[in-house]
Amino acid sequence: MEKAKGYNNAVLKTKNRGQVFKQLVTNNGIYRTELAEECGLTKMAISYIVNEFIEKDIAVESFRNEEKKPGRRSGCLRLSPGAKKVIGLLIHRNYISVTLCDCQLHVLRADTIRFEECDTDFLLKKAFELTDEMMEENEILGIGIGSIGPVSSERGIILNPPEFYGIKNVPIVQLFEERYGLPVYLDYHYNCAARAEKYFGMGKKYKNFILLGITDGIGIAIVVDGKIFTRMTGTSSELGHITVDYSGRQCFCGRRGCLGAYMDFSSKETTWQSVEILCAALAGVCDLLIPQAVIVRDEQSYLENEHLEWMEKELNQKIIARDYQRIAVCKSCRSKELEATGCAANVLGRVFSGEIEI
Ligand SMILES: [Zn+2]
């Protein structure tokens, strides 16, 4: 009984610390009273955690002039530059990149290797080489890996991404854990991007949103009630294979008329056509999920503001819930490193939830 009580207290302590840490890093300066309010903890509990954070060089406290008066001991708290760092590894079809970030996802160092041919050994060798470099002289909290799908985040395996040089069933989490002895997490790269949006980007405003990814294909991440939606097997959602014409073009997945087969952003004319088809498919998705926003991650800048404005107007006219629900369509405000830093955000999410300790 005593043992169970001790265990529960330890879990609660890690959870509370995770909550406080989340507020510390997702706000640009926060006071103890605000922390108490945001985390639903007593001022005494906050004081205890904050003092520990300052002692361990996780947080620093600064005082404005009026706060320096005698008896006033509470200043503004920020993430300490000395706090542990996180690493994000992004695996794409023709490149891998590794990013060293602080816990606010500021990029401290990044490196990319591009390739036109690849196999499992080459992929791992290069991923290890890049990660080794980031390890030097840094205390690392964990490694987050984002990959083209499908992946099983639950089992830590890159499954069988199409057109990926035949690479499949790579137990990447286990291999990284064995090499570095750190917590390692794997997710679909757009889920990673959505996580970065949720903590630090446009997604901060919304509990329910869709991240629409446009690169060489069309991808999606779904955030429901503030959580990234994954299926029971830990695999991610697909958007590119929604049927837009059941007797239409042949898709590599074996079906006909998949959305992805109609996405062509090579000229102004085909871009508009693609936007129209995309919008028709998205209306169905929005009817299912009723998100507050569609955040567009458009790495190559295929879409211009007029496309997004048109999409927003069109979606809000099309959805069945149009009389009582409005959906915002906006561009991701995060930098070009969104996905890479999002991979690192995978580790942060585990700290925030209390799964791992800062
Ligand atoms: Zn398909």
Answer yes or no: are the C-beta atoms of 49 and 36 closer than 8 Å.
Answer: no
Residue pointed to by tokens 């470099």: 133
Distance, CA of 289 to CA of 204 (rounded, Å): 18
Higher-confidence position of 71 and 212: 212
What pLDDT, in 10s, does the model give residues 166-203? 999 999 999 999 999 999 999 999 999 999 999 999 89
pLDDT above 80: residue 337: no
Residue range 206-331 forms a domain whose CATH class is: alpha beta
pLDDT band at 276 (very low <50, low <70, confident <90, very high): very high
Which residue in 345, 353, 352, 343 sits closest to 22, CA to CA? Answer: 352
For ligand 1, the distance from its centroid to the CA atom of residue 256, given in whole angstroms, is 7
Who contacts 160 (Cβ-Cβ below 8 Å, separation ≥6)? 150, 168, 169
For ligand 1, the distance from its centroid to the CA atom of residue 68, given in whole angstroms, is 63
For ligand 1, the distance from its centroid to the CA atom of residue 241, given in whole angstroms, is 4
Q: Encode the chain in three state secondary structure.
A: CHHHHHHHHHHHHHHHHHHHHHHHHHCCCECHHHHHHHHCCCHHHHHHHHHHHHHCCCEEEECCHHHHCCCCCCCEEEECCCCCEEEEEEECCCEEEEEEECCCCCEEEEEEEECCCCCHHHHHHHHHHHHHHHHCCCCEEEEEEEECCCEECCCCEECCCCCCCCCCCECHHHHHHHHHCCCEEEEEHHHHHHHHHHHHCHHHHCCCEEEEEECCCEEEEEEECCEECCCCCCCCCCCCCCECCCCCCECCCCCECEHHHHCCCCCHHHHHHHHHHHHHHHHHHHHHHCCCEEEEEECCCCCCHHHHHHHHHHHHHHCCCCCCCCCEEEECCCCCCHHHHHHHHHHHHHHHCCCCCC
For ligand 1, the distance from its centroid to the CA atom of residue 142, given in whole angstroms, is 35
pLDDT of residue 233: 58
For ligand 1, the distance from its centroid to the CA atom of residue 262, given in whole angstroms, is 10
pLDDT above 80: residue 248: yes
For ligand 1, the distance from its centroid to the CA atom of residue 255, given in whole angstroms, is 5
The tokens describing 49, both together, are: 């955690």
The predicted model scores a pTM of 0.90
Answer yes or no: are the C-beta atoms of 260 and 218 closer than 8 Å.
Answer: yes
Which residue in 76, 82, 329 sits closest to 211, CA to CA? Answer: 329
Which residues of the chain form CATH 3.30.420.40? 85-193+338-352, 206-331
Distance, CA of 219 to CA of 239 (rounded, Å): 6
CA 16 to chain centre: 22
What pLDDT, in 10s, does the model give residues 53-111? 999 999 999 887 655 555 556 789 999 999 999 999 999 999 999 999 999 999 999 99
Q: What is the CATH number of domain 85-193+338-352?
A: 3.30.420.40
Query: Mean pLDDT score of the chain, rounded to an integer?
Result: 90
For ligand 1, the distance from its centroid to the CA atom of residue 253, given in whole angstroms, is 4
**In this structure, which amino acid lies at residue 62?**
S
Answer yes or no: are the C-beta atoms of 164 and 295 closer than 8 Å.
Answer: no
For ligand 1, the distance from its centroid to the CA atom of residue 267, given in whole angstroms, is 23
State the CB neighbour count (10 A cutoff) for residue 201. Answer: 24
Who contacts 285 (Cβ-Cβ below 8 Å, separation ≥6)? 210, 220, 239, 242
Residue pointed to by tokens 């794997």: 186
Which residues of the chain form CATH 1.10.10.10? 2-79
Architecture of domain 2-79: Orthogonal Bundle (1.10)
